[in-house]
Amino acid sequence: MAEQKSRAKVLKVRTEVSLPERYVSMSNAIARGAQGLNLSQKRIIALAMAMTDSLPVRDLIDGGRVGWTVRLSALDYAETYEVSADTAYEQLKTSGDSLMRCLWNTVEKGKKGNIITKGPWCTLAKYYEGQGLVDITFHNYVAPHLLALRTEFTTYKLKQAAALRSVYAWRLFECLQSWKSKGRWTPSIDDFLTAMDAPESCHKDFGNLRKRVIEPAVKELRQKDGFLLEWESKKAGRKVIGLSFTFSKDPQGHLDL
């Protein structure tokens, strides 16, 4: 592990395109899987991904082998997410610490059952006190999901999610983006719970899930991102077994689907 950290490549970022206009990309598998991130952690990951948008192929390959480092500034974070500079640095610092304990989770269908893969997001965080800078080093295990080294990717502009204040709205946004060519997402209830990282109290209480996760997320996406979004539950008897989300771009809205 120490060798990987020391060899991680510091990736150069684009300067000709403003951060809100850069793209965030991730594999469909990780967009629809459990990410284990709260809102501040989600913001850091998205900002770092936007900063490494459109990297040269050689840098992608190097990052996939040994990990890669992105330098984040409190100023960029504050401007992107509309928070104060002090709040930005504090969130970068505390969330940078906790990111090293967070695990992403993907589920694939195997011949004899599901194949579940878990891995760490980051291996190292370095803080420059008094400078408002934080270096985040990503683990090479997550590279295939973030560095466009595989097909079936979910992509959106950072500005499309930057205004969101709920991690559930952000997670729902990414899941819908991963199905934007269809305009419909129909997860089983278990898949939805996993994708939302829903709290345990929601797993056996659909009323609680609807109140805490679904309705607030749908409302925020309609208001802030201009989704024409409808949803309904699917039942077997009295039990909810799945959900259906139908969505499109509002012609009068501002969302670039």
Q: What is the CATH number of the domain that holds 42?
A: 1.10.10.10
Q: Contact, 48 vs 99, CB < 8 A? A: no
Distance CA 175, CA 173 (A): 6
Q: Could you tell me the two tokens for 151?
A: 């097909």
The pLDDT score that the predictor gives to residue 150 is 58
CA angle 219, 158, 212 (to 5 degrees): 25
How high is the pLDDT of residue 7? 66
Domain ends where: 162, 192, 216? 162
Based on the domain organization, do 126 and 242 belong to the same domain? no
Q: Are residues 132 and 33 in the same domain?
A: yes
Q: Do the beta carbons of residue 221 and residue 173 sit within 8 Å?
A: yes
Residues 73, 174, 192: CA angle, nearest 5 degrees: 130
Query: Cα 132 to the chain's mean position, in Å?
Result: 23
Distance CA 257, CA 42 (A): 20
- Same-domain pairing of 104 and 128: yes
pTM over 0.95: no
Are 26 and 141 in a shared domain? yes
**Residue 113 Ramachandran class (φ > 0 left, ψ -120 to 50 alpha, else beta):** left
Q: How many residues does the chain have?
A: 257
Q: What pLDDT digit, counting tens, does each position of 34-92 carry?
A: 899 999 999 999 999 898 876 677 777 777 788 889 999 999 999 999 999 899 999 99
Q: What is the pLDDT of residue 9?
A: 63
pLDDT of residue 5: 45
